[in-house]
Structure 1
Amino acid sequence: MTKFLLAVHVIAAIVAVGPVTVAASMFPPAARRAFGAPGDADALATTRLLHRICRVYAVVGVAVPVFGFATASNMGVLGDTWLIVSIVLTALAAGVLALLVLPRQSAVLETAEGDGPVEEMPEERTTAARAATVRLAMVTGIFNLLWATVTVLMIIRPGSTTGA
């Protein structure tokens, strides 16, 4: 049963977290293109699609910790330090996604949809719109680093008996 739970946990992580990290990373440059491309419906549609991918796969991503807890319980490692650190980092990553990345994507998307190209906005709005995508890219980078750290911890598992 442990191997099955571990397999489902890993597959869920690949299928759910992978698309979120890639789509979230692609969102800021796509939003900048949408701001700067007069009448480019494709640039705006790409930005909308990336935001939708992030939202949908964030919900699907709930399966990752669910199967992770089931696997850890079955393996008897719930009290191990590496797992507790991974749980905390996973919670932080989920918080960054839910409280910072997705709302900022929504705000950037609303600006891109409502105000037309950045070139047609007053200069202070243009600067603010571009700065918002830069801040979003930074927050997305933090989200991605948290997940990368969790992945490394899951592979290395300090104190594991795998001999690796």
Structure 2
Amino acid sequence: MSAVLLSVHLVLAIILIGPLTTAASLFPRYAREAVAAGEDHAGPFSVLKALHRISTGYAVAGIAVPVFGIATASSMGVLGDYWIWLSMAITLAAAVLFAYSVVPAQRRIMELLGTPGGIGSVTPLLPRLGMVTGIFGLLWAIVVVLMIVRPGSSTGV
């Protein structure tokens, strides 16, 4: 049963968290293109809407990843290991960062781009959004490393 749970956990992580991280990371780039296009930013704006929809949709579906992760850890008898708890804490930090920083910034940028004369207000938001999405991706990379290395295991250091 552990193998099945682990397989589902990994497949969900690849299918859901990968595109979520990619869409969130691409959003600032296309927001810059929308700003550069000026008032005629229909093309980049439609891409932004799609990236935001992917980000939020995959984030909701992505809740299944830690659910299956916890089930997998429990079935493997490692739920009490510190690296599991550290991974869960980092996952929670990434989720909070995404929900309370990335998504609101994406919404605000799209709102400003949809408002006449709001384009100039977008530019100051982009560096912070780029940084936050970078941190979000880095947190997921740390979780992946923890899952592979598993301190104390035969693959650990």
Q: TM above 0.5, one fold?
A: yes
Q: Contact 1:35–1:116 (CA<8 Å) still a contact in 2? A: no
Q: Shift in Å at residue 40 of structure 1?
A: 3.2
Q: Shift in Å at residue 36 of structure 1?
A: 2.1
Match of 1:148 among 115, 125, 141: 141
Per the alignment, residue 122 of structure 1 pairs with none
Per the alignment, residue 83 of structure 1 pairs with 84
Per the alignment, residue 49 of structure 1 pairs with 50
> Is 1:136 the equivalent of 2:129?
yes
Question: How many pairs align?
Answer: 156
Aligned-pair Cα RMSD in Å: 1.5
Name the CA distance, whole Å, in 1 between partners of 2:52 and 2:150. Answer: 33
For residues 70-119 of structure 1, give each alpha carbon's deviation from its aligned partner in whole angstroms, at most 9, with x where no partner exists.
0000000011111110000000000001111001100011111113573x
Runs of 4+ in 1 over 3 A off after TM superposition: 161-164
Name the CA distance, whole Å, in 2 between partners of 1:7 and 1:157. Answer: 17
Counterpart of 1:132, as a letter, is L
- Normalising by structure 2, we get a TM-score of 0.94
Query: What is the 5 A alignment of 1:1-150?
Result: 1-37=1-37, 38-115=39-116, 118=119, 126=120, 128-150=121-143
Match of 1:158 among 143, 151, 155: 151
**Structure 1: gaps of 5 or more residues:** 119-125
Counterpart of 2:87, as a letter, is S
Name the CA distance, whole Å, in 2 between partners of 1:163 and 1:95. Answer: 28
Q: Contact 1:89–1:150 (CA<8 Å) still a contact in 2? A: yes
Name the CA distance, whole Å, in 2 between partners of 1:98 and 1:23. Answer: 14
Name the CA distance, whole Å, in 2 between partners of 1:137 and 1:73. Answer: 36
Counterpart of 2:12, as a letter, is A
% identical equivalent positions: 50
